[in-house]
Amino acid sequence: MTNKYDVLVSEVGPRDGLQSINTVFSTKGKMQWIKREAEAGVAKIQVGSFVPPKLLPQLADTADVVNQSIQIHGLNVAALVPNLKGAENGMAAGTHQIGVVMSVSEAHNQANVRCSTQQSIDQFAKIIAFRNAHLEYKDIVISGGMATAFGCTISGKVPICDVLRVAEGLLKRGAQRLNVADTVGYADPKQVRNLFTELYRAIGDDIPVSAHFHDTRGLGLANVFAALDAGVREFEACLGGLGGCPYAPGASGNIVTEDLVFMLEAMGLSTGVNLDGLLETREIMERHLNGEPTHGTFAKAGRPKGFVIKPAIF
Ligand SMILES: [Zn+2]
């Protein structure tokens, strides 16, 4: 899948979006969504999270969804795991990329998983060791995710040096890639450019880094622009901005996949994604939603005059 795009747009709706809404999609409904979006040229989709079903019934069928998604030609299938048990399940299901997330903010990590960030980094090392001990899992990529990297609802500001410390800790323990997330929508473009510039300075250019922005305060795509400027070439987004923001009812949450693709393509950056195909996928998704709201402006406004929509790459 390499070299078909300048920027990789990574869909996280089937995990991030679905875990934040009431509707529980059937496995069949999820697969209709995932298949159509892959056909539209989205090369990487985070299809679920290996958490206990009681905790998130919306994602209880993740193993099944992974099993079916890895049959889709050319699709990179990603999932999140909260701990070693989840990682074992994720690897057994055949997930291509396992994401392990921790909060850079100590207070947020304690509130979320009741342990320190350092303890989460140690847990990460155990996941790497488990993967390395199983030859059949050698091709599974493990990503270190840093939540609340731009601010935290409990402790407010999160210093860049804390992000760098966690990033270096993860890389030292074998992370093959990093994800930096503005979990609560606190980031501004200047901060984003500073953080990624410092991060690349600290870790070099060889480790792939993806960014995860929220549009809670309307700065999502401005933050993408700033991150692009600093060198980031992979962005996570949710089709239709699914999920909204749990802290601000009615506000959008994750940046919107189709708006992101439109912005990148309008700037002349190839994504390999077909916008008409994305809009069709959005309709498929909405049919399963029981009226829960979606977000995004491209779906409402359509393409500007003279704007050429790229054909799908498949
Ligand atoms: Zn998110």
pLDDT at 290: 87
Q: Hey, what are 211's tokens?
A: 């960014």
Residue 264 exposed, middle or buried by CB count within 10 Å (0-12, 13-18, 19+): buried
Looking at residue 76, its amino acid is N
What is the Å distance from ligand 1's center to 48 Cα? 13
Q: Could you tell me the residue ranges of all domains in the chain?
A: 8-301
What is the Å distance from ligand 1's center to 47 Cα? 13
Taking the chain (314 residues) in runs of 10, the rounded mean pLDDT of each run is 80 95 96 98 97 93 98 97 96 98 94 92 98 98 97 94 98 98 95 98 97 95 98 98 72 90 96 96 95 93 87 62
Q: Residue 270 and residue 37: Cα distance in Å, rounded?
A: 17
pLDDT digits (tens, 9 = 90+) for 258-281: 999 999 999 999 999 999 999 999
pLDDT at 245: 64
Q: Hey, what are 187's tokens?
A: 């980031």
Q: Residue 102 and residue 16: Cα distance in Å, rounded?
A: 15
Residues in CB range of 50: below 8 A, 6 or more apart: 62, 63, 79, 80, 81, 82, 85, 86, 87, 89, 90, 93
What is the Å distance from ligand 1's center to 88 Cα? 24
What is the Å distance from ligand 1's center to 244 Cα? 9
Q: 115, 152, 238, 245: which one is catalytic?
A: 245
Q: Residue 71 and residue 91: Cα distance in Å, rounded?
A: 15
What is the Å distance from ligand 1's center to 45 Cα? 14
What is the Å distance from ligand 1's center to 295 Cα? 14
Q: Is 238 a catalytic residue?
A: no
CATH topology assigned to domain 8-301: TIM Barrel (3.20.20)
pLDDT at 313: 59
